[in-house]
Amino acid sequence: MTKRIIFPLLTLLVSVSTFASESDEFDYVPTPIAERNYDLLDEDNDGVINERDLCPDTPARAEIDNDGCGTFLKTTEKMQLQILFANNSVDINPAFLAQIREMASFLKQYSSTSIELQGYASKTGNAEHNLQLSKTRAANVRRALISNGILSSRIEIVGHGDTGLENKGTDKISHAMNRKVVASVVGFKGNIKEEWNIFTTISK
């Protein structure tokens, strides 16, 4: 008796289910198109693709965070440049070429930095002539840095003439020290913290 009741019930359920599936209507929802960015390159080779890299000029070997930015250590190191010139001369003495090479190497290592070259002249002669003299001295140092592989866009020059001199004396030594080009490095944060590897020495 029980079997006779179950089979008609199953037949009824199947019929109702079929009817519901054939009669139901649904609005068509188009498949959303995913936005894609194809800039998957890693131009500074830090392991973070260009699309996500907030620091695209990370120094080589730097320890980086998830945004591709390197960690810098606090340091007292400063890269200084001071080139002296002969009286009324704009020619760079070969003795100072090593300083220029060192500065170029420094700028290559820290590609986010730039440099401002400040030219001076001793307080002798015409002020207008001294101003032009100081600009030409700075321009010549700029050319020397460019010849060592530094982009011109990273180097600014300023001529101070015979104003703002550190040495206020009127003796020959003071005049000689005032005929110079000095540099200020902009954007230097310190030495990079290098990524750890199996050869890293841990201080005890």
User: Exposed, middle or buried by CB within 10 Å (0-12, 13-18, 19+), for 15?
Assistant: exposed
CA–CA distance, 7 with 40 (Å, rounded to integer) = 62
The number of helix segments (H) and strand segments (E) in the chain equals: 4, 6
Token digits of residue 121: 């002249």
The reported pLDDT for the residue numbered 198 is: 45
Enumerate the domain spans of the chain: 79-187
The reported pLDDT for the residue numbered 132 is: 96
Give the pairing type, strands 191-192 and 155-159. Answer: unpaired
Give the pairing type, strands 155-159 and 114-119. Answer: parallel
The reported pLDDT for the residue numbered 29 is: 77
Classify the C-alpha dihedral 186-190-195-199 as positive or negative: positive
The reported pLDDT for the residue numbered 142 is: 96
Q: Which fold has domain 79-187?
A: 60s Ribosomal Protein L30; Chain: A; (3.30.1330)
Per DSSP, what are the bridge partners of residue 192? 72
CA–CA distance, 73 with 50 (Å, rounded to integer) = 25
User: Exposed, middle or buried by CB within 10 Å (0-12, 13-18, 19+), for 25?
Assistant: exposed
How do the pLDDT tens digits run along the chain, 204 residues long? 444 544 454 454 445 454 445 556 667 778 777 666 566 777 767 667 777 666 766 666 666 666 666 655 444 345 678 999 999 999 999 999 999 999 999 888 878 788 899 999 999 889 999 999 999 999 999 999 999 999 999 999 999 999 988 888 889 999 999 999 998 887 665 554 444 444 434 454
